[in-house]
Structure 1
């Protein structure tokens, strides 16, 4: 039974910039740079037949390339932080791509995603790290900026059931239409 999600890949130069943020935080489990991504829609553990339906439905998406800009850092879990992430600016193209995937996956019977879409790249898991330590770490690095890049495809990733952080495998890729110059 595969565990699936859709997402955007992070180009090597931006992965390198994100990886330079590693360190300085007790108990942090840093995500390997090759596993950095922007999750568009978590699908979860599904059977092979449903996975085939998901892949076929995603093949109907016809959207243009998505400009992606990472700007700032944050943490999920205010009193008990559990993840540190780089913020992805929520452009209309990104929000529309995510919303279309949500609609299509519900159409084949998958339950709606229970959480509001917050575009981000998880860079560390911080279970056991205090809110004060995370706040101090963020205050020193919170002005993080990366150059805008163009996502020319989205992918269907699989992962093994784990604590998170990969490894992730690209099962299918779906090109996005080039924007006319």
Structure 2
């Protein structure tokens, strides 16, 4: 079985900027460079046949390159307890359109439709239990911003669980239309 998701990998300059911000919250398990990504679609556990079908279906997703920038910080709660700190991105519309195309490609292979509303973000930290006070971190990073960066590809990733947490491995990368190296099939 394979545990898959589709994501955009921010450029090294953006990842470095994010890594430099990761501190000051007791109990936070900060992401490392290899874990920083912007999820387009979580797929979950699939067998090899469906993984191959998903990879093939994603090859049919067409999109034009677009620009994104970091925009603020936030958090998700589970049962009233903070479990994730994240960095936001703007604008959201091109991501929402790409997410919808990726979702349709996954559905065409038998995957269930995405059940949650799509909120584009880059996860910075996770919490196993009650973490420390996140208010100072959020106040400090409310104005988090970056220069715009170009999104001209996305990848299908496999998530592997290990003693040090999850590691992510790109299975296939899909280029934007009209970008050098774009797929012609």
Length-normalised TM-score, structure 2: 0.89
Q: What residue number does 1:70 align with? A: 70
Structure 1, unaligned runs of 5 or more: none
Find the aligned partners of 1:162 and 1:114 in 2 and give their Cα distance.
27
Q: What residue number does 2:40 align with? A: 40
Q: What residue number does 2:108 align with? A: 107
TM-aligned CA deviation for residue 162 of structure 1: 6.2
TM-aligned CA deviation for residue 178 of structure 1: 3.9
1:70-109 correspondence runs (5 A)? 70-77=70-77, 79-109=80-110
More strand by share: 2
Q: Does structure 2 retain, via aligned residues, the 8 Å contact 1:75–1:81?
A: yes
Whether 1:56 and 2:56 are equivalent positions in the alignment is yes
Q: What residue number does 2:139 align with? A: 139
- Kindly tell me the number of residue pairs found equivalent between the two proteins: 178
Structure 2, unaligned runs of 5 or more: 180-185
Secondary structure in 2 matching 1:77: strand
Whether 1:173 and 2:173 are equivalent positions in the alignment is yes
Q: Does structure 2 retain, via aligned residues, the 8 Å contact 1:81–1:127?
A: no
Length-normalised TM-score, structure 1: 0.91
TM-aligned CA deviation for residue 7 of structure 1: 0.6
Pick closer, same or farther for the CA change 1:139–1:163 going to 2, 3 Å: farther
Q: Does structure 1 retain, via aligned residues, the 8 Å contact 2:3–2:160?
A: yes
